[in-house]
């Protein structure tokens, strides 16, 4: 018998995905550049289902039923291109290559165009959920031709996570749409993680031990903040260092790494003109944490409070932090969804925003109780300008905003860096302000460069002779 599907790349994500497929009764062809890895999978997990291992890529391709579905789980960038180049001469018309890595959506657009021109399908699919997700059910965000989704979709939906019976996999749109949505998922992941870190630092600031912080996060996880990242935070904070017995968190270097998806989210947002300052601050916070020279010099020369947070009522302050965290989280998601909506229009993908929220409710790293509310909000109004404005969210934002302000003030006063808490609050205030300081920017631009301004009481563009006779000219 021939395989229903093939997987290339037997690192942990690829082998776990292959096992997941096999657990669902698919016969899975498996291939890895170094055959030993394939052999290892078969030796350790071969009895879990039906696998067809091949040492040569030709045999691998021939072992799959046509039209073939082949999932690539290799490193993003050059290794993905190299694998595609090896596969292409071996394919038959109508075969599908799916890239399940964290590829840049621009690469996916390019690859899809080139591969479609050769008569094959190329699907760029974001897969979230880490190693466990790949094995037990990830959230899958595929983009490509609708025809390819007819073939691949049922298999992907079967192996994906499910939320109350609904698969966490849906077609996001043509070519780069899937990887675009996954990119934004990761951008939100960055800001979610950063703001949790800011909350943690404030809790430490008022004197809570790591174990007490863990209890607070565990408690928060029972309410509106219920999410995977809050859940693992409480677990992480309880972990002891096997070497020293200290809290592991205190032994881990405070330098955050990143692999690019957060940066792409912000770069793309800048190109699209979508304000995503919460996500941007999260990316910059990782960068600043790893800027050793800057931090060493600043520690030496820059004065300020030491991060101790003094409050009259600790319990009340902790509750304020919870509310602030909820508000900042909503703004981060609002910014991410704004980017999905705008990108969807800009690239002609026609992305169904509610569907993206729907498939993030389980399986992925940013899965959270909030996502069901987001799905509902975009289902009720697909043209929703901002999540913040959804009636299900805005009332709670209003109720929580004074706590949010107290937290941002307290952080500033105590010297606790809280870039995402403060940036998202600034975004909220800027969005709701009747008038913002942009008029002064316009006036200065017109002053030094005749860049013109618009008037509140007339149409058109105007310029004034600032240093001359102060006469105003209508430009158009």
Nearer to ligand 6PG, 225 or 283 (CB): 283
Residue 348 per-residue DSSP state: T
Question: Site for ligand 6PG (CB under 6 A): which residue of 164, 222, 243, 259?
Answer: 259
Q: Are 132 and 161 in contact (CB under 8 A)?
A: no
The catalytically annotated residue of 112, 157, 182, 281 is: 182
Q: With 0-12 CB in 10 A as exposed, 13-18 as middle and 19+ as buried, what is 433?
A: exposed
For residue 13, say whether it is annotated as part of any ligand binding site: yes
Any contact of residue 364 with ligand 6PG (CB under 6 A)? Answer: yes
CA distance 110 to 434: 43
- Residue 203 C-beta: closest distance to ligand 6PG, Å: 23
| Residue 258 near ligand 6PG by CB under 6 A | yes
Residue from 49, 94, 130, 307 that binds ligand 6PG (CB under 6 A)?
Answer: 130
Q: Measured from the CB of residue 101, what is the shortest distance to ligand 6PG in angstroms?
A: 9
Q: Check binding of 205 to ligand 6PG (CB under 6 A).
A: no
Residue pair 48/26 in contact by the 8 Å Cβ criterion: no
For residues 75 to 104, the per-residue mask of contacts with ligand 6PG, x marking binding by CB under 6 A and - elsewhere, is ---------------------------x--
CA dihedral 322, 224, 159, 59 (to 10 degrees): -20
Rounded-to-integer distance, Cα 406 and Cα 313, Å: 13
Q: What are phi and psi of 353, to 5 degrees?
A: -65, -40
- Residue 214 is encoded by which pair of tokens? 């863990």
Pairing of strands 51-53, 162-163: unpaired
Map tokens 């799916």 to a residue: 98
Tell whether 12 is in a known binding site.
yes
Q: Taking the CA atoms of the chain, what radius of gyration do you get in angstroms?
A: 25
Which position among 20, 186, 234, 414 is part of the footprint of ligand 6PG (CB under 6 A)?
186
Nearer to ligand 6PG, 54 or 102 (CB): 102
Please check if 102 is assigned to a binding site.
yes
Q: Pick from 91, 171, 167: which is nearest to 126 by CA?
A: 171
* Annotated catalytic residue within 112, 189, 198, 355: 189
256 by DSSP, 3-state: which?
coil
Among 71, 72, 53, which Cα is nearest to 63's? 53
Which of 36-44, 149-157, 244-252, 259-267 is the region at the interface with ligand 6PG (rule: CB under 6 A)?
259-267
- Which of 261, 268, 332, 424 touches ligand 6PG (CB under 6 A)? 261
Q: Is 76 annotated as a binding residue?
A: yes
Give the whole-angstrom CA distance, residue 302 versus residue 366. Answer: 36
Of the residues 357, 362, 365, 411, which one makes contact with ligand 6PG according to CB under 6 A = 365
Contact residue for ligand 6PG among 6, 14, 100, 129 (CB under 6 A): 129
- Token couple for 222: 């029972």
147 catalytic residue (yes or no): no
Cβ-based neighbours of 216, under 8 Å, separated by 6 or more: 203, 208, 318
Interface stretch with ligand 6PG, choices 49-57, 152-160, 251-259, 399-407 (CB under 6 A)? 251-259
Q: Given the complex with ligand 6PG, which of 164 and 259 has the nearer CB atom?
A: 259
Please choose, out of 164-172, 254-262, 402-410, 419-427, the segment that lies near ligand 6PG by the rule CB under 6 A.
Answer: 254-262
Interstrand relation of 139-143 and 121-128 (parallel, antiparallel or unpaired):
antiparallel
| Tokens, residue 363 | 């399986």
Which lies closer to ligand 6PG via its Cβ, residue 16 or residue 54?
Answer: 16
Alpha-carbon gap, residue 103 to 176, rounded angstroms: 9
Q: What angle do CA 273, 77, 169 make, to 5 degrees?
A: 70
Measure the N-to-C terminal CA separation of the chain; round to a whole number of Å. 72
- Annotated active-site residue 240? The verdict is no
Binding segment (CB under 6 A) for ligand 6PG, from list 124-132, 295-303, 397-405, 452-460: 124-132
**Residues of each annotated binding site:** 9-14, 32-34, 74-76, 102, 128-130, 185-186, 190, 259, 286, 445, 451
Question: What residues form the annotated binding site for NADP(+)?
Answer: 9-14, 32-34, 74-76, 102
Residue numbers annotated as active site: 182, 189
Residues annotated within a binding site for substrate: 102, 128-130, 185-186, 190, 259, 286, 445, 451
Chain residues binding ligand 6PG by CB under 6 A are 102, 128-130, 186, 189, 257-259, 261-262, 364-365
């Amino acid at each position: 018998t021939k395989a229903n599907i093939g997987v290339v790349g037997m690192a942990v994500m690829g082998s776990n995905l292959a096992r997941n497929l096999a657990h669902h009764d698919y016969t899975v062809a498996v291939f890895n550049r170094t055959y030993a890895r394939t052999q290892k999978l078969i030796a350790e997990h071969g009895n879990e289902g039906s696998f067809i291992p091949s040492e040569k890529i030709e045999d691998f391709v021939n072992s799959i039923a046509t039209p073939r579905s082949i999932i690539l789980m290799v490193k993003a960038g050059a290794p993905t291109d190299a694998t595609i180049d090896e596969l292409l001469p071996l394919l038959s018309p109508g075969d599908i290559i799916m890239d399940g890595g964290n590829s840049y959506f621009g690469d996916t657009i390019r690859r899809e165009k080139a591969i479609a021109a050769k008569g094959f399908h190329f699907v760029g699919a974001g897969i979230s959920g880490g190693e466990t997700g790949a094995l037990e059910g990830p959230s899958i965000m595929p983009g490509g031709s609708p025809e390819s989704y007819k073939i691949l979709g049922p298999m992907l939906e079967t192996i994906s996570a499910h939320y109350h019976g609904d698969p966490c996999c849906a077609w996001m749109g043509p070519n780069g749409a899937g990887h675009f949505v996954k990119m934004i998922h990761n951008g939100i992941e960055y800001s979610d993680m950063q703001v949790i870190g800011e909350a943690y630092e404030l809790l430490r600031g008022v004197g809570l031990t790591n174990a007490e912080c863990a209890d607070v996060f565990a408690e928060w996880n029972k309410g509106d903040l219920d999410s995977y990242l809050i859940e693992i935070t409480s677990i992480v904070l309880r972990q002891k260092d096997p070497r020293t017995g200290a809290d592991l968190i205190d032994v881990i270097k405070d330098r955050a790494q990143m692999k690019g998806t957060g940066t792409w989210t912000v770069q793309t947002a800048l190109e699209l003109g979508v304000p995503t300052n919460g996500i941007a601050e999260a990316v910059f916070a990782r960068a600043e944490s790893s800027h050793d020279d800057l931090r060493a010099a600043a520690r030496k020369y820059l004065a300020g409070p030491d991060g101790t947070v003094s409050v009259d009522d600790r319990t009340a302050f902790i509750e304020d932090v919870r509310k602030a965290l909820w508000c900042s989280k909503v703004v981060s998601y609002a910014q991410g969804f704004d980017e999905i909506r705008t990108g969807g229009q800009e690239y002609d993908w026609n992305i169904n925003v509610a569907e993206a929220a729907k498939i993030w409710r389980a399986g992925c790293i940013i899965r959270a109780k909030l996502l069901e509310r987001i799905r509902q909000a975009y289902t009720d109004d697909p043209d929703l300008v901002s999540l913040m404005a959804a009636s299900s969210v805005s009332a709670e934002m209003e109720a929580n905003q004074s706590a949010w302000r107290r937290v941002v003030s307290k952080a500033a006063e105590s010297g606790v860096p809280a870039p995402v808490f403060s940036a998202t609050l600034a975004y909220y205030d800027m969005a709701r302000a009747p008038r913002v300081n942009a008029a002064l920017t316009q006036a200065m631009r017109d002053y030094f460069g005749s860049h013109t301004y618009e008037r509140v009481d007339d149409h058109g563009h105007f310029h004034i002779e600032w240093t001359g006779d102060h006469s105003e000219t209508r430009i158009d």
